[in-house]
Amino acid sequence: MTASSSGQKRTRAKVNGWVILDKPLHSPSTKAVNIIRRAFNAAKAGHSGTLDPLASGILPIALGEATKTIPYVMDATKDYAFEVTWGAETTTDDREGEETLTSDHRPTMDEITAIIPQFTGRISQVPPIYSAIKKDGKRSYDLARNNQEVELDPREVDIHSLVCLANDKEKASFNVTTGKGAYIRSLGRDMARALGTRGHISSLRRLRVGPFSLDASISLDFFEKIDNSADAFEALHPVSTALDDIPALAITEEDATRLRRGQKIEVDQSTLVSDADDVVMTAIYQGQLVAMVSLRHTTASPIRVFNLS
């Protein structure tokens, strides 16, 4: 008798690490996470920021202890390639929605180049009403789908760079690097308005999230076709991959024990590569990630402790 037929729950494995997934079009992020979790038979999984079903590209998926580093990946910069189709604004700000407003004006490349500085740096944008943002305790997209009027507050986001690669009569293609919380659908909609026309996102691909890029990514098809979880481990990256940009602190075995107990440790000032105070570092013992710590003067306090042994 199998575990499922006897009513017993399947035993999940303790799997720790990151999968750099190249999510295909039309696949919801939650579905992708579930496929990865089944491929590894993992006890715990999560992603570092939803990617719309009509968008493709990098969707980093955390397994086990890697889920503790998700907030740091969500705060990272992101690269996108996207396309704006001119002439129509939609309910969803992409090609999935119904047209709401139209315009006959088609901007030139010179006009686009002229407005790009308005959308670079710290800018204010109103998120799409079809988004996961909560309004009065409910998801905005749920309210919109129920034909309820939704008004979302503007928020400040960072656009680090924005380049128009090409433009023809009907559409233009762009590359952009953003900070946390920026909506490309809002960016396309607002640029069109600034150009005296209407527009919506007709193509969107995420090229990078923090340290995770397409060069190291793997397709969802790979995980759907594998026969056993052993094959999946070829695509698993260490938990510490998400923290590559955070300075490392080498610690002793005694220090590692104290940090795992949630206790502070004292650090030799001469071992520090920076005099900066109140910084976040990764504590490493014999090449293994032990904790993330907040260093103040020479005292390191644990922020996140990892059980990787």
pLDDT tens digit sequence for 131-181:
667 666 767 766 666 666 777 789 999 999 999 999 998 999 999 999 999
Tally of CB atoms within 10 A around 195:
21
Per DSSP, the three-state class of 77 is coil
Catalytic residue among 52, 79, 94, 190: 52
Residue-level pLDDT at 5? 44
Reported as a single tens digit per residue, the pLDDT across 229-251 is: 677 888 899 999 999 889 999 99
pLDDT at 132: 66
Determine the average pLDDT of the residues in 298-308.
93
What the block records as the tokens of 113 is: 């180049």
Q: What pLDDT sits at residue 6? A: 46
Round to whole Å and give the CA distance between 37 and 58: 17
Query: Do 184 and 80 touch, CB atoms closer than 8 A?
Result: yes
CB 173 within 8 A of CB 165: yes
- pLDDT in the model for residue 61: 96
Question: Is 104 or 14 the better-scoring residue by pLDDT?
Answer: 104
Which tens digit of pLDDT belongs to each residue from 254-281? 999 999 999 999 987 666 655 556 789 9
pLDDT of residue 228 exceeding 60, the answer is yes
- Count how many Cα atoms sit within 13 Å of the Cα of residue 8 in the half-sphere of its side chain: 7
Closest residue by Cα to residue 283 from 144, 270, 33, 260: 260
Q: Is the pLDDT of residue 95 over 90?
A: yes
More confident position, 2 or 218: 218
Task: State the Cα angle at 59 between 198 and 178, rounded to 5°.
Answer: 50
Quote the pLDDT of residue 51. Answer: 85
> In the chain, where do the E strands start and end?
17-23, 45-47, 56-63, 78-86, 88-90, 99-102, 121-125, 134-135, 138-139, 155-167, 171-178, 199-209, 212-213, 218-219, 236-237, 248-250, 265-266, 279-285, 288-296, 299-305
Closest C-alpha among 273, 278, 283, 223 to residue 61: 223
Say whether 52 is catalytic: yes
Q: How confident is the model at residue 4 (pLDDT cuts 50, 70, 90)?
A: very low
Average pLDDT over residues 40-52: 88
Exposed/middle/buried for residue 274 (C-beta within 10 Å: 0-12, 13-18, 19+): exposed
H or E stretch at 145: helix 140-145
User: What is the per-residue pLDDT for 153?
Assistant: 82
Q: Which two tokens stand for residue 168?
A: 């023809």
Q: Which domains, ranges and CATH numbers included, belong to the chain? A: 17-75+211-242 (3.30.2350.10), 78-209 (3.30.2350.10), 246-305 (2.30.130.10)
pTM of the model: 0.88
